């Protein structure tokens, strides 16, 4: 049994596990590979990365790190939660200044994944439940955003936000789906993001009020960078004449996006199914 190991060995093993999972999630400060990976990956790669692969890290914490080393986990709870909160705010602030739409969503991933691990590390019922729900939510919301950036990239071959503007008039269906994905990522009540973030913040406030308050600002920052991004991307004047020839979503693309919209609202309106 692991309980028979010396405290030093338990500590070493915990850090070995925790570091590998932290890189996989990724948590600040070992997050630097993620934006580059997302930017270079094709659309399908980004969606699989956001939807499935990053969750291996948070799953590793809840399945291996915490059950194997409960005493060490409690000792370093504060440290890990602090890194999560730094990641939430830092990821959001860096997302705000991105010029590449895909890179912006990649940095928003760093911010959202901070919420997942923060919830798990509170060791409260609300926090752990919120963290696990947020793991699924992130896959749906961010996966949908990556899909939609991929769909528009297929048409224009550019991801720079400055190359767009005013396209809501030309591709209204695309704009509607994009707004749903964006608002779910912000955490609008009635959508999936709200449920997970609210539970995580409840759990965090029980453990550490200051960290809870700082993490709560992450929701505000998310609204700042996502709403500003959407304003420049979809609305305003048509700045690029080439965009006037864009075709709206076809049947195949709608078929891919509709199940995600269903999940977004199902989670938001009746999360009990998944709890």
Span 218-237, mean pLDDT?
Answer: 91
Which residues have C-beta within 8 Å of that of residue 219, sequence separation ≥ 6?
Answer: 186, 187, 197, 201
**DSSP result, 162-207:** GG-SSGGGT-HHHHHHHHHHHHHHHT-TTSHHHHHHHHHHHHHHHH
pLDDT in tens, 92-113: 999 999 999 999 999 999 999 9
DSSP one-letter string for 223-252: HHHHHHHHHHHHSSS---GGGGG-----HH
- Residue-level pLDDT at 147: 93
Check if the beta carbon of residue 182 is closer than 8 Å to that of residue 145: yes
Task: Write the CA distances from 153 to 69, 101, 148, 207, 248, integer angstroms.
Answer: 45, 10, 8, 43, 13
Kindly tell me if the per-residue pLDDT of 58 is higher than 80: yes
Bridge partners (DSSP) listed for residue 160: 100
Given a contact cutoff of 8 angstroms between Cβ atoms, the answer to whether 218 and 114 are in contact is yes
What is the arithmetic mean of pLDDT over 31-59? 91
Q: What is the pLDDT of residue 3?
A: 73
Q: How many CB atoms lie within 10 A of CB 258?
A: 11
Mean of the pLDDT values across residues 85-94? 94
Smallest CA-to-CA distance from 108 within 130, 81, 87 is with 87
Residue 256 has a CB neighbour count (10 Å cut-off) of 16
Q: How far apart, in whole angstroms, are the C-alpha atoms of residue 193 and residue 187?
A: 4
Flag whether pLDDT at 2 surpasses 80.
Answer: no
pLDDT of the residue at 236:
83
- CB neighbours of 250 closer than 8 A, spacing ≥ 6? none
Percent of the chain surpassing pLDDT 90: 71
Q: Is 57 helix (H, G, I), strand (E, B) or coil?
A: helix
pLDDT at 79: 93
Q: Report the alpha-carbon distance of residue 115 to residue 215 in Å, rounded.
A: 8
Q: Taking CA 248 as the corner, what is the angle to CA 246 and CA 252, rounded to the nearest 5 degrees? A: 130
pLDDT of residue 16 exceeding 80, the answer is yes
- Among 113, 90, 1, 18, CA closest to 60: 18
Q: What is the pLDDT of residue 60?
A: 92
| Contact call for residues 134 and 115 (beta carbons, < 8 A) | yes
Per residue in 180-204, pLDDT (tens digit) is 999 999 989 999 989 999 999 999 9
204 near 121, Cβ under 8 Å?
A: no
Here the tokens at position 126 are 């609300």
CA–CA separation, 207 and 71 (whole Å): 17
What pLDDT sits at residue 138? 92
Q: What pLDDT score was predicted for residue 237?
A: 85
Percent of the chain with pLDDT over 70: 100
pLDDT of residue 240: 82
Give the mean pLDDT of 237-250: 84
Measured between its terminal Cα atoms, the distance across the chain in Å is: 31
d(CA 84, CA 25): 11
pLDDT computed for residue 80 by the predictor:
93
pLDDT score recorded for residue 215: 93
- What mean pLDDT is predicted for residues 250-271? 93
| Mean pLDDT to the nearest integer, 261-274 | 91
DSSP-based three-state secondary structure for 100: strand
Q: Residues 125-170: pLDDT tens digits?
A: 999 999 999 999 999 999 999 999 999 998 888 889 888 888 888 8
pLDDT at 117 over 90: yes
Given this model, what pLDDT does residue 242 score?
83
């Amino acid at each position: 049994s692991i309980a028979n190991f010396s405290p030093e060995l338990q500590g070493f093993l915990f850090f070995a596990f925790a570091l590998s999972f932290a890189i996989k999630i990724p948590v600040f400060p070992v997050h630097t590979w993620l934006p580059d990976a997302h930017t270079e990956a094709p659309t399908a790669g980004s969606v699989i990365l956001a939807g499935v692969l990053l969750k291996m890290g948070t799953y590793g914490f809840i399945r291996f790190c915490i059950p194997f080393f409960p005493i060490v986990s409690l000792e370093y709870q504060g440290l890990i939660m602090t890194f999560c909160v730094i990641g939430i705010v830092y990821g959001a602030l860096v997302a705000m200044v991105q010029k590449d739409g895909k890179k912006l969503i990649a940095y928003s991933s760093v911010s959202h994944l901070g919420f997942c691990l923060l919830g798990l590390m509170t060791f409260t019922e609300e926090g752990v439940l919120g963290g696990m729900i947020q793991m699924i939510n992130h896959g749906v919301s961010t996966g949908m955003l990556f899909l939609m950036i991929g769909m528009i990239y297929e048409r224009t071959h550019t991801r720079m936000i400055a190359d767009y503007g005013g396209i809501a008039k030309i591709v209204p269906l695309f704009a509607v789906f994009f707004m749903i994905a964006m608002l779910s990522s912000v955490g609008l009540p009635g959508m999936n993001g709200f449920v997970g973030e609210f539970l995580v913040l409840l759990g965090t406030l029980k453990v550490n009020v200051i960290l809870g308050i700082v993490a709560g600002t992450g929701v505000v920052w998310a609204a700042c960078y996502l709403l500003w991004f959407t304003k420049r991307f979809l609305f305003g004047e048509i700045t690029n004449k080439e965009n006037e020839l864009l075709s709206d979503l076809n049947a195949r693309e709608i078929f891919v996006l509709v199940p995600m919209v269903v999940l977004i609202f199902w989670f938001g309106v009746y999360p009990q199914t998944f709890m």
